[in-house]
Amino acid sequence: MLTDGEGSTFHDGSGATVGGELTFSPPINLKSFQVVGRYSSTHGTNQCSSLRLRAVSATGATLWDETTNLLSTTWSSWKTLSPNAMDVAKLDIVSRPSSCFPSFRDITTGAPPCP
């Protein structure tokens, strides 16, 4: 499970295993969020060359799946991802390099986009 991080962020708390997740109860309509390839503002190494994230419904269905490169991110320059997925129960870290400890913030929810 992801834990509270610096400021209003969440990060892979143990930094030891893949499998961190943010759980939403009740499920949310996930419009966007920001992610950075660092554990904290003082963490000097960013090894997040291939971070795979997945938004999952309460029934376990994959609603969104993306692999992204965070090497160019810094604590003052986060990457915005926009799943625009409805009824998201959790956001999973599916895979990452062993030295990649991402942080998340600015989770935006709301009505789904118009078709």
For residue 25, the tally of other CB atoms under 10 A from its CB is 8
Asked if 43 and 101 count as a contact pair (C-beta separation under 8 A), the reply is yes
Reference 89, options 104, 109, 106, 69; nearest CA is: 109
Confidence of residue 17 (pLDDT cuts 50, 70, 90): very low
Architecture of the domain spanning 2-108: Sandwich (2.60)
Which amino acid belongs to residue 49?
S
Helix, strand, coil tally for the chain in percent (to 5):
0, 50, 50
Residues 6+ apart with CB under 8 A from 42: none
Read off the pLDDT of each residue in 4-14 and give the average, rounded to a whole number: 52
pLDDT, tens digit (0-9, with 9 covering 90-100), for 99-110: 788 888 889 998
pTM (predicted TM-score): 0.81
pLDDT at 93 over 80: yes
